[in-house]
Each structure stands twice: as structure tokens, then as C-alpha cells.
Structure 1
Amino acid sequence: MDRLDSMRIFVAVAETGGFATAARRLVLSPPAVTRAVAAVEDRVGARLLHRTTRIVRLTEAGARFLEDCRRILAEVEEAEAAAAGLHAEPRGQVSITAPVLFGRLHVAPILFDVGIRHPLMVVRSFFIDRVVNLAEEGYDVAVRIAELPDSGLSAIRVGTVRRVVCASPAYLAAHGVPQTPADLADHDAIPFGQGVAARDWVFRRGDRTETVTPRARLIVNQADVAVAAAVAGHGLTRVLSYQMAADHRAGRLQTVLEDFEPPPIPIHVVHQEGRRATARVRALVDLVAAGLRADPALR
């Protein structure tokens, strides 16, 4: 068995978390998979996997080797495609991660078109409300809603979202429209987020910032629950603009205190490889970036 085949087997074991599952994916016998991984470990001179009766986990050396194997195998696939005159048509599996609600509302509709534009590509999506480590968790592309720290990731800015305070027209008619953050003392609030910090709402006007802790009647950890509670008239909530955009357009929610909003939050599409990205990664990045830039809700 050559080195590339051994790498493919190691990657399958790492991704599936077991020798038997990797064997089924590759249509090989479990002993063949075990021997191939053992040969790789002998060749590199390091333990790549922690094995127990229930689970297989990557060692630190194994995590680094997995990243290198994926890159090498992708480059080999690209080279073979180029030699066969197929470089212009992206092919193979590519993966993307994004926050849950943003992914469902704004990323998924773009992904639906990938199969039409690039029928040889397979896209794997992973929508979750945490920052996914692309290298460690094996994902190619991510959508991040944040100011990005310095890193080795390539980033394309595609839009912005606002942090808005909103309530139903009926609630505002009954309780009045707050004109300044200090007015929130007379209102019910529906904080969204984790921990005590979720109850602190930071506002800004010019160079001045002001932190207000409104009276909380309900504290939730999901944006759609906060939005639903506000639509039902239970108070004011503070969410990202895309999270309440549909209800705002339908007239079910009204924004307040716009003059005191903090600066908009940028949206980026990020990936690891920069100019060395494979054709399928470049194709996915281009499609997602173009789709998000064209989205009027993200301007």
C-alpha cells in the first residue's frame, strides 16, 4: 500500500472516529485499516491516535498530521484533475460552518445552488453557535460575525449586521417608545445570551458609551425565542439585525434607540489556505461571498 493510500486511510479513521467505521467507508477489512495506520505511525515515528475499546482520538501529533494529510491529498487531487484537463470544474467534498440561525437564513439558500453550478462538488454544512477551529475540526470555510483577531486565516468581508433593540408595536403603544437608554428603566426586557453579561446592554453615541441593565422578565439563550417573546408583546429585546429582519419587514417588530447603537459588526467568509486553496474551496468561498454581499439584509 503506497503512502497516499495510507494517508487516505488515516484521514478516514480520524474523521469517523473508529477503525471499523473507516473500513466500511473505504470498503476495506478492519485489519487492513489497522495495519495501514500502524505503518503510518511507524513511518513518522510518532503515535497519531489514542485507541480505547470505545473511541479513537487524535494525539497532538496526529492532529497536525491530519491537517497535513488533508492538504497533501487535496493538492494531489487538484494536480490529477489539472493533468486530466478538469481543473476548471471543482469536484469533491468541501465543508462550511456558520452560526445556526445565520446559516439557516442566509447561508443555506446559497448552498442549495452549489449542486446546480458545480455538480461534481459535495458540500457538508455545520451550523453551530460557537467558533469552530477549522484546522482542528476539519472544516474548509467558515462564516464569522465578528471583528477578527490576527490569524493565519484568509478573510473576505461580505457585509455587516447591527445590534438592535426592538419591540412589538403593541408593546410600544402601551408602554411608550424609549428615547434614551436611561428610559429602559421603565420597560420590561428579554435579554438574550449566556451569563450575567447578557443582561448588560451597551450603547454608544459619539465617543461616549453607556451600559444599562434593564429589568428582565425573561432571559433566554436563543435569539429566535427572544424575538418570538418580543413579537408576543412581552418587552424589548436586543438581538442582531438579521435575527429579527423578517419580523421587522412584516411590521411585527419596531426598532428603537437607533441613534445609540454600537458600530455595526462585520461579517467575514474565512478559510485557511489563501492562494493555495483548492478549486472546490475557492468555488465555495466565491459563491458564499457573492451571495452574502448581494443580501440586502446584510448591508
Structure 2
Amino acid sequence: MDRWQAMRVFVKVAETGGFAEAARKLYMSPPAVTRAIAALEETIGARLLIRTTRSVKLTDAGQRYLADCQRILADLAEAEAAAAGSYATPGGTLVVTAPVLFGQMHVMPIVMDYLSQHPSVTVQTLFLDRITNLIEEGMDVAIRIGRLPDSELNAIRVGTMRRVVCASPTYLAAHGEPLTPAELADHRVIANVSAWPSLEWRFGRERKTSVSIHPRLICNLNEATISAALEGWGLARVLSYQVDATVRDGRLRILLAEFEEEPLPVHVVHAGGHGPSAKIRSFVDFAVERLRASPIFGGS
């Protein structure tokens, strides 16, 4: 068995956590998988896997070697795809990630329209309210709301998003409207720990004003936070796109607008490698154009 195939076998064993499962996915016999790993360990001169009756675990050397194998095999697949012409015609599976609500509301329409134009592409969406690692988690494109850390990823800015405080007219009629951030202490507050785990809200373009909140209702989902605000329970802090429709129809009102922080940037991010494939390049171009034209943003 050549070195490339042995590396593929090792990666599959590590990813599946077992020889039998790796053999099934590779259409090989379990003994052939075992022989490939043994030969690879002998060639390298290091033990890569610890085998028990119930599981297979990576050694320290195996963990380092796995990362190298994944990178090498990805580069090889990229070279093969380029030679086969996939960099000219979009095709294959594209994995797109975005925050849950934003993905449902604004990325799905883009994805469906893109698929209508590119019948050779399959899109898998992963909408998650956490920052994903595109390379380690096998994703192609992400829509990110917020300031980006330094990285080797390619990022194209498409707009900005406000962080707003809102409440229902019912709540405001019963409890009054806060006119300054300091007055939040006199109000019932709904905290969203998935978006902002800190119980300190900052205000002002330079974020110099901070207010400690003492919520009696703490939610871990954006949807739950917004639902509680709509029911008139208290004030919530959310991203403007999440309540755009309910503000327009009068079910929620935005408060303390003059004290808002600098809007958050929104980017389309991708890991282009030595040059993005046609499926990544075409989707990024499509999404950037659509998002920049969207009225939900405060400008690019």
C-alpha cells in the first residue's frame, strides 16, 4: 500500500474512532486496515494509535501526525480538483455556516437561489451560535457578525449590524421607558447568555459607559429572549436584524438608540487555501452581492 493511501486509512481510523468503521467507510477489510496502520507506524518509527477492546485513541505523536496528514491530503485533493477542472466549474459539496437566526432568515434564501443557478453543487448548512473553526471543522464559508480575530482566512466585509435594547409597548406602558443606560437598574432585564455571557452592558461609540445588569430571566437562545420581550416581560438586548420585523410592525420598540455602541462588522469569510475552488469563489461572490444589497445592514 502506498504512503498516500496509508495516510488516508490512518485519518479515517482517527476520525471514526475504530478500525472496523474505517474499513466499512473505505470499502476495505478490517485486517487490511490493521496492516496499513502497522506498516505506517513501522515506516514512521512511532506509535500513532492506542488500541483497547472498546476504543482507539491517538497518541501525542498520532495527534500531531493527524493534523499533518489532513493538511497534506487536503492539498492533494485541491491539486487533483484543479487538474480535473473543478476550479473552472462549480461542483461538489459546499459547507456554509452562520449564526442560527441569521442563517435561517438571511442565508437560506441566498443558498436556495445559488443552488438554482448551480445544479452541480450541493450545499450543507450548519447554523450555530458559536464561532466555528473553518479549517478544523471542514467548513468552506462562514458569515460572521462581530470583530474578527487575526487569522489567515479571507474576509469580505458586507455591512454592519447594530446591537439594540428593545421592549414591547405593553412593558413600557406599565414600567416606563429608560432614558439613559443608568436607568436600566430600575427595569426588568432579560439576559441572553448565548450572545453576551457577561452581565455588563456597554454603551457609547467607544464603549466607555458600562452598566451592570441584574436579570431575573436568563435565556440561552435568541428566540427565547425575543419571545420574552414580545410578551412584555422586560427589556432585551439583541442584534437589530433579529427584531427588524417586530420593530416595523410595532410589537417592539428600540430604546437608548443615542447610546448605542459602534455597529458590529459583518463579513463573509472563507479559507481559500492556495486559491478558492469554483464552488467557494462563486458562492462567496453571490453571497457578498446579495448581502451588500440587503436593507438589514447599516452600510458596508
SS of the residue corresponding to residue 80 of structure 2 reads: helix
Any stretches of 5+ residues in structure 1 without a counterpart?
none
Contact residue 67 and residue 138 of structure 1 kept, 8 A: no
* Equivalence for 2:76: 72
* Equivalence for 1:247: 246
Summarize the alignment of residues 262-277 of structure 1 with structure 2, pairs less than 5 Å apart. Answer: 262-273=261-272, 276-277=275-276
Cα deviation digits, residues 100-158 of structure 1 (max 9, x gap): 22222222222223432222222222222222222222222222222112211111112
Q: 1:127 to 1:40 in 2, by over 3 A?
A: farther
* Equivalence for 1:32: 32
C-alpha distance in structure 2 between counterparts of 1:228 and 1:182, whole Å: 25
* Equivalence for 1:182: 182
Q: Please give the TM-score of this superposition, normalised by the length of structure 2.
A: 0.85
Q: 1:284 to 1:203 in 2, by over 3 A?
A: same
Any stretches of 5+ residues in structure 2 without a counterpart?
none
1:150 partnered with 2:154: no
SS of the residue corresponding to residue 204 of structure 2 reads: strand
Query: How many corresponding residue pairs?
Result: 294
* Equivalence for 1:124: 124
C-alpha distance in structure 1 between counterparts of 2:147 and 2:137, whole Å: 22
Cα deviation digits, residues 28-58 of structure 1 (max 9, x gap): 3333344445555555555555555334556
C-alpha distance in structure 2 between counterparts of 1:51 and 1:139, whole Å: 30
What letter is aligned with 2:213?
P
Q: 1:279 to 1:195 in 2, by over 3 A?
A: closer
Percent sequence identity is: 50
CA shift at 1:172, angstroms?
1.3
C-alpha distance in structure 2 between counterparts of 1:265 and 1:285, whole Å: 20
Summarize the alignment of residues 1-299 of structure 1 with structure 2, pairs less than 5 Å apart. Answer: 1-41=1-41, 49=49, 51-52=51-52, 53-55=54-56, 57=58, 59-79=63-83, 81-82=84-85, 87-193=87-193, 198-204=198-204, 209-273=208-272, 276-299=275-298
What letter is aligned with 2:148?
L
C-alpha distance in structure 1 between counterparts of 2:19 and 2:261, whole Å: 51
Q: Please give the TM-score of this superposition, normalised by the length of structure 1.
A: 0.85
Contact residue 178 and residue 184 of structure 1 kept, 8 A: yes
Q: 1:138 to 1:42 in 2, by over 3 A?
A: farther
Contact residue 47 and residue 59 of structure 1 kept, 8 A: no
Cα deviation digits, residues 44-74 of structure 1 (max 9, x gap): 5555555553345561221232122122112
C-alpha distance in structure 1 between counterparts of 2:277 and 2:48, whole Å: 26
Q: Which runs of 4+ in 1 moved over 6 A?
A: none
What letter is aligned with 2:210?
T
Cα deviation digits, residues 161-194 of structure 1 (max 9, x gap): 1110000111112222222112222211111116
Cα deviation digits, residues 218-238 of structure 1 (max 9, x gap): 111211111100000001011
Contact residue 49 and residue 62 of structure 1 kept, 8 A: no
C-alpha RMSD of the superposition:
2.7
Contact residue 81 and residue 87 of structure 2 kept, 8 A: no
What letter is aligned with 1:231?
L
C-alpha distance in structure 1 between counterparts of 2:174 and 2:113, whole Å: 45
Contact residue 190 and residue 215 of structure 2 kept, 8 A: yes
Q: 1:8 to 1:106 in 2, by over 3 A?
A: farther
C-alpha distance in structure 1 between counterparts of 2:22 and 2:10, whole Å: 9
